[in-house]
Structure 1
Amino acid sequence: MRPSRTTGHRLLGAALLAAAALTLAGCNTTARTDRMATGSIPSAGTRPLEQMSAAELSASMESMGRAYEKSPKNPAIGMAYANVLQMNGRSSQALAVMQQIAIANPTDRQVLAAYGKAQAAAGQLDQALTTITRAQTPDRPDWKLYSAQGAVLDQMGRSGEARAAYQQALQLQPNEPSVLSNLGMSYVLTGDLKTAETYLRSALAQPAAESRVRQNLALVVGLQGRYDEAERIAAQELSPQQAAANLAYLRAMMGQQNSWKQLAARDSAKPAAN
């Protein structure tokens, strides 16, 4: 039995948008402020946000919130604050923050892309696609916008268009790990786990690969029934506490209404290519 498209998109939406957040906002670690506009970003620790504990995320949210109150139009601070709000499950508040930042910076393409990401996270997929498409310009195309466009299209069930957008991103930024990861997760949505694994392994082999790529690869390996290998992948380069949290997430994803197991079974049942 094939899991419904709605179920698959709901389960993978967070993974796709998280990857988009890392490339759009550039604020998964506070050491990477060079990728954002100028402005003082409060310290949120030395690890990526997705590896932080709930207490650390809460403290980071409070710190960035205070910075945002002082500089509510600063695009770097606004995007960083919206990102940590997303990580704390506050999608509506993150959207409100990005809406204000977009109003204050209407021609900043990185801001518009992050605004589109926030719209998608809040379930406003049509609006998100419009925002991201409007930010793109043919004479100066931006690979981050193409990647974000693909993530939204995947959530809308338009996998073919999504993959075309990812390929456009890769033409502009070859071997970009975040795009390769999104492309891999796109293939998970249609049950092609082997192709998904190929792209995710390629993404992880890139020097700039983030820990989110490793988590996605662990998920796809686990979906194919290789649970011990999935756990080893998920536990690499993490503290015991972080590894335990990642493995709990992995098991929860694979147990969601049995849908992932159904995807894995459907993939393994496909006839081998001649």
Structure 2
Amino acid sequence: MTSFRASIPIRCVSWYCCLLAGCATLPASSQVDHDLKVADIELASGAPDAALRIMQDLAARRPGDARVTLRMGEADAALGHPQAAEASFRRVLATAPGNVPAGLGLARLQLASDPAGALAGLQGLAKAGPRDARILTDLGVALDLLGRAAEAQAAYHAALDVDPALLSAQADLGLSLAISGHPSAALRLLGPLARSADAGSRVRQDYALAETLAGHQEQAASVLRIDMPATQVASVVNAFESLRDAPR
């Protein structure tokens, strides 16, 4: 799924301190922009706790600023605080219903517990931004969760028409094909992704699922051992196999 997805390799303390040292001389508006940029860097570099602290301080000085509220929602979502994140996203959407980052943030929170609600929100976003690959990919995930695989795959293809290199759309399409009874097609798509040097564990697990559903349990186990202890592999393969007979 769509899962909250960019990586900026910076955690330089001296650079960060230099940024903060210049704060006192910045005008108020420049200070806000500066803090927002620092929060974005923290979020992108995998430090949502730092981003949240910055935004909480800024929210006290700028109550009601949608840019601050949005980033608080993104930080809370990354930290596993869904209720706080949802409240932030809804506050943004209450004043700006077409705000795409807030709409996507809310939809991604809803996917696990309310895919129909997520779908409704994403369909509204898609009407305003029909060529946004992020929206189309998440739309596909919602449709897959509702058992509408053909529609989901059409959404992933639409996303890839916009951005052919979008990894999340490729991986989600492969997973959808595997679960909907087309493991061979899934393997053709997921295989190169899983074998690439920068492949993540999620793509490898999707590939292992496709291998299992294609009847290649040993190959699946070999892939899974890259990311998990050997003692867990058999139970995961068994869980994957149970999907073969699941109703579609």
Q: Which AA in structure 1 matches 2:86?
A: L
Greater radius of gyration (CA): 2
- Cα shift at 1:103: 3.8
Deviation at 1:42, TM superposition (A): 7.1
Alpha-carbon deviation of 1:79?
1.6
Whether 2:65 is the aligned partner of 1:82: answer: no
Describe the SS at the equivalent of 1:118.
helix
- 2:230, 2:88 → 1: CA distance? 28
Unaligned runs of 5+ in 2: 11-35, 60-65
Output the aligned Cα RMSD.
Answer: 3.6
1:201: how far off? 1.8
Calculate the TM-score normalised by the size of structure 2: 0.68
Is the contact between residue 224 and residue 264 of structure 1 (CA under 8 Å) also seen in structure 2?
no
Q: Confirm whether residue 132 of structure 1 aligns to residue 132 of structure 2.
A: no
Matched, 1:165 2:165: no
Per-residue displacement from partner, 1:179-215 (whole Å, max 9, x unpaired)? 1110111123323222222221243466775442122
Q: State the number of aligned residues.
A: 213
Cα distance change on mapping 1:204 and 1:104 into 2, 3 Å:
farther
Q: Confirm whether residue 70 of structure 1 aligns to residue 57 of structure 2.
A: yes
Match of 1:109 among 95, 100, 105: 100
For the residues of structure 1 that align with 2:198 and 2:129, how far apart are their CA atoms? Answer: 27
CA distance in 2, matches of 1:65, 1:247: 38
- In the alignment, structure 1 segments of 5+ residues that lack a partner are 1-15, 50-59, 237-242, 267-274
- In the aligned structure 2, how far is the partner of 1:127 from the partner of 1:39? 33
Structure 1 CA distance for aligned equivalents of residues 103 and 168 of structure 2:
19
Q: Distance in 2 between matches of 1:95 and 1:146?
A: 21
Q: Is the 8 A contact 1:177 1:206 kept in 2?
A: no
1:232-252 deviation digits (Å, cap 9, x = unpaired): 43454xxxxxx336983x655
Partner Cα separation in structure 2 for residue 136 and residue 31 of structure 1: 32
Q: Aligned to 1:152, which of 142, 145, 152?
A: 142
**Per-residue deviation, 1:175:** 3.6
Residue pair 1:105, 1:111 contacting (<8 A) in 2 also: no
Q: How far 1:218 sits from its partner (Å)? A: 2.4
Which residue is equivalent to 1:21? 4
Q: What amino acid is aligned across from residue 261 of structure 1 in structure 2? A: E
> For 1:36-47, what aligned pairs fall within 5 Å after superposition?
38-41=37-40, 43=42
Contact 2:221 2:237 in 1 (8 A): no
* Alignment equivalent of 1:99, drawn from 90, 93, 96: 90
Distance 1:93 1:227, change over 3 A: farther
Quick check: 2:108–2:138 contact (8 Å CA) kept in 1? yes
Map 1:198-213; keep pairs closer than 5 Å: 198-204=188-194, 209-213=199-203
The alignment-based identity, stated in percent, is 21
Specify which structure has the bigger relative contact order, considering alpha-carbon pairs within 8 angstroms and separated by 6 or more residues: 1
Deviations along 1:20-45, one digit per CA (max 9) or x if unpaired, are: 332xxx4xx4649xxxx845247589
Alpha-carbon distance in 2 for matches of 1:195, 1:156: 21
Structure 1 length-normalised TM: 0.62
